[in-house]
Amino acid sequence: MSKTLFDKVWYSHIVESFPKGPSVLYIDRHFIHEVTSPQAFEELKTRVLLIFKKERIIATVDHNVPTKNQHLPILDALSRKQVQILFENCKINGIDFFGLLHNYQGIVHIIGPELGYTLPGMTIVCGDSHTSTHGAFGSISFGIGTSQVSMVMASQCLLQKKPKQMRIHLVGLTKISVTPKDIILYIISKVGTDGAVGYFVEFSGKVFRRMSMEGRMTVCNMSIEIGAKGGLIAPDKTTLNYLNKIKFLPKDILLEEAMPYWRTLYTESDIFLDREYYFYASDITPMITYGTNPGMGFSIVRRIPKINVDYHQSISYMGFKAGYSLIGKPIQYVFIGSCTNARIEDLRIVANVVKNKKKAFHVLALIVPGSKQVIYQAKKEGLDIILKKSGFEFREPGCSACLGMNEDKLPFGAYCISTSNRNFVGRQGFGARTLLTSPLVAAIVAIEGKIIDVNNFYGKN
Amino acid sequence: MEKIEILVSRAIPIAIENIDTDQIIPARFLKSSKRQGFGSNLFRDWRYTNQGLVKESFILNNPKFSGKILLVGRNFGSGSSREHAAWSLFDYGFRVVISSFFADIFKENALNNGLLPIEISEVYLQYLFKTISYNRHILYSVFLGRQIIKIDKSFFYDYFSMEKYKKTCLLKGQDDIDHLISLYKKIKTFEVKSVFNDKENSYFIWRWSWR
Ligand code: SF4
């Protein structure tokens, strides 16, 4: 019988299943961070249970940590305590812990792939919704709740019902200056924020085949913003080349023996999934969001549409009016970071735009690389110097202004062009207004000090 | 997890629809690293004023009402997926929540924590609200085995549906963890059978079973 990519990975991980009920799914990798893990450790302690397989857990700190002076003790007492608790829990249980001063520290969804923890055909979970990022490698990855974190710790398994499957197919190729972020923002704007509830989504089409791994991670990262349980893309040459370059992998065995298996991971061509979407790639243009959910996005040159009452509230929160264009709107903050767009490729795009230019003087531009490894690579390529010269603040890794849990909060009413994944009310700070874009658009806005059409920028310079 | 089989108790009615998890437990109380103790902040902003004064009018502050059953309007537990919502209800002392519709994630979280969400028809829910407004001492009985909820010492009852696996869990007082641990041996064999390579370097253990 023909199988989909999802089926292949799913069925190879089933330990046992109840007829008409949930299945016991074996988990290969478990990432934990400081915010959603303490109660899970507590639970194990009260039940006097041991960690089932400590080698499969990797811990890092990201949500709560400062992005300045990470070598000093954390100022905020609660954040300090959470980091300390995670450190102690890992030490007692023998779990690999990448603390603030560790070379491998960074946002969980960025360090997983770059350290070679994320591999095709795996099942991966983390107590964080954007775990879907790892699907870029052709793995089943999804976010879980705290009780489930303790289940995986105790048994390396989860009880799960098999989700339905959806495929989103892009026909043809995109125009230049359209980045993976624009593609996913476009898809979200079309499918809607609840269009894929209950589904696992596979992305297919030439565009994705030609996309870099970094780009695929950006797409899969935001696949949960259409309500999906997760997203995935079949592994191919690009995936294998990427894995080839990771210096942390034991090359000899891995590549020779694993590759033939990984090559079998794709959806066979004669299958229809539970739901299929087709879009034309050539319709996509640089995108921006104008409202308070990621589905409220449109081409940057369009005017804000007149739509239903629900949107009214959200548009007035943003301080916009129907019928107006965003072009020319002055912006005070630019944030480049988060697990969506803080990889080395994103930094390269930004550096390329801002090279030999200065940011507009009224803009506060923040770059928060996703991990220590990204910083290391950026320094090697001299990107940090280019960025600092252009007036960007170059910070240390963490989630930072993506959710404003540390000090990097935005003031009331401020407009921020952000490369992160959610523009919810107050997410970046009380009353802060977020506009999601690609790093390319964000870099251009930092230089211009206002929103402009990407094509005009290139015409001018 | 605590067993539930038969529960006979008075109920506390809150006839409001669409109560989201932010109302059940506001985000600013999530910073604890323990699971217990959230009960004191359950419905925090409905129970206390900004200055921390008790709002007498809210039903949880009314000593005349008590019970292990919470009766609420439809679409209970929507919004953020925080498990703290279920923890706070349980910690406060509730064991059963009755409504005509629950948000998916809340329902799952509740079941994972020994809190029984009972979904009944809107008509019967309204009937229950009515009975309690006539007599707040009225007792309700829940029979999980037969999946029945009824007004004690009367014939008025309704069925509620429930997944078989979850029902067995609650009846035995088991949760997913207990079930998974009972599979310990099976999981071990599964691992051995399918572990492709186990280098001494524990970082790089990976497996498959598709050969
Ligand atoms: S960067 Fe943002 S979205 Fe990503 S894990 Fe951190 S808080 Fe979540």
Question: A194 and A331 share a domain?
Answer: no
Question: A251 and A391 share a domain?
Answer: no
Count CB-CB contacts under 10 A for residue A83: 21
The position carrying tokens 């990984």 is A262
Question: A321 and A245 share a domain?
Answer: no
Q: What is the pLDDT of residue B204?
A: 32
Question: A45 and A85 share a domain?
Answer: yes
Give me ligand 1 centre to Cα A178, in Å: 23
Q: What is the pLDDT of residue A461?
A: 61
Pair A354, A390: CB distance under 8 Å: yes
Interatomic CA distance for residues A54 and A95, integer angstroms: 6
Residues of B in contact with A18 (CB under 8 A): 164-165
Q: What is the pLDDT of residue B200?
A: 32
In chain B, what is the straight-line distance between the N-terminal and C-terminal CA atoms, in Å?
40
Last residue of some domain: A241, A275, A309?
A: A275
Q: What is the pLDDT of residue B197?
A: 40
Residue A219 lies in a domain: yes
Residue B193 touches partner A, C-beta closer than 8 Å: no
Q: What are the mean pLDDT values of chain A's consecutive 10-residue runs (461 residues total)?
A: 87 85 91 91 92 91 92 88 93 93 94 90 91 96 91 94 94 94 96 88 96 97 92 94 79 65 87 93 96 92 82 88 93 96 96 95 96 96 96 95 87 95 87 95 96 84 61
Q: State which amino acid sits at residue A160.
A: Q
ipTM of the predicted assembly exceeds 0.85: no
Q: Residues lining ligand 1, CB < 6 A?
A: A 62-63, 107, 109, 128, 130, 338-339, 399, 402-403, 420-421
Q: Name which of B33, B183, B191 is nearest A24 (Cβ-Cβ).
A: B183
Residues of A in contact with B194 (CB under 8 A): 12, 26
Pocket test for ligand 1, best of A62, A126, A222, A424 (most atoms within 8 A of CB): A62
Question: A369 and A244 share a domain?
Answer: no
Question: Which of B191, B175, B176 has its CA nearest to residue A158?
Answer: B176
Last residue of some domain: A275, A299, A314?
A: A275
Question: Which of A377, A376, A436, A372 has its CA nearest to residue A401?
Answer: A436
3-state secondary structure of B176: helix
pTM: 0.87
The shortest C-alpha distance from A265 to chain B (Å) reads: 10
Question: A307 and A266 share a domain?
Answer: no
Domain tally, chain A: 2
Question: Best residue in B167, B206, B209, B211 to probe A by mutation, most A CBs within 10 Å?
Answer: B206
Question: A235 and A297 share a domain?
Answer: no
Interatomic CA distance for residues A34 and B137, integer angstroms: 45
Closest ligand 1 atom to residue A337 Cα is 1
Pair A296, A290: CB distance under 8 Å: yes
Interatomic CA distance for residues A51 and A141, integer angstroms: 21
Q: What are the mean pLDDT values of chain B's consecutive 10-residue runs (211 residues total)?
A: 88 90 80 81 89 90 93 86 89 95 86 92 93 92 93 87 89 88 89 51 32 20
Give me ligand 1 centre to Cα B123, in Å: 43
* CATH number of residue A437's parent domain: 3.30.499.10
Give me ligand 1 centre to Cα A108, in Å: 8
Closest ligand 1 atom to residue A33 Cα is 5
Q: What is the pLDDT of residue B96?
A: 96
Instruction: Determine the CATH number of domain B6-172.
Output: 3.20.19.10
Question: A131 and A234 share a domain?
Answer: yes
Question: A295 and A178 share a domain?
Answer: no
The shortest C-alpha distance from A205 to chain B (Å) reads: 25
Q: What is the pLDDT of residue A1?
A: 63
Residue A281 lies in a domain: no
The shortest C-alpha distance from A156 to chain B (Å) reads: 8
Pair A432, A411: CB distance under 8 Å: yes
Q: What is the pLDDT of residue B211?
A: 20
Q: State which amino acid sits at residue A340.
A: T
Question: A304 and A249 share a domain?
Answer: no
Question: A332 and A183 share a domain?
Answer: no
User: Please, how many CA atoms are within 13 Å of residue A228, restricted to the half-sphere of its CB?
Assistant: 34
Q: What is the pLDDT of residue B83?
A: 87
Residue A282 lies in a domain: no
Q: Do B184 and A155 touch (CB under 8 A)?
A: yes
Question: A203 and A351 share a domain?
Answer: no
Domain residue ranges in chain B: 6-172, 175-211
For residue A85, give its domain range.
5-275
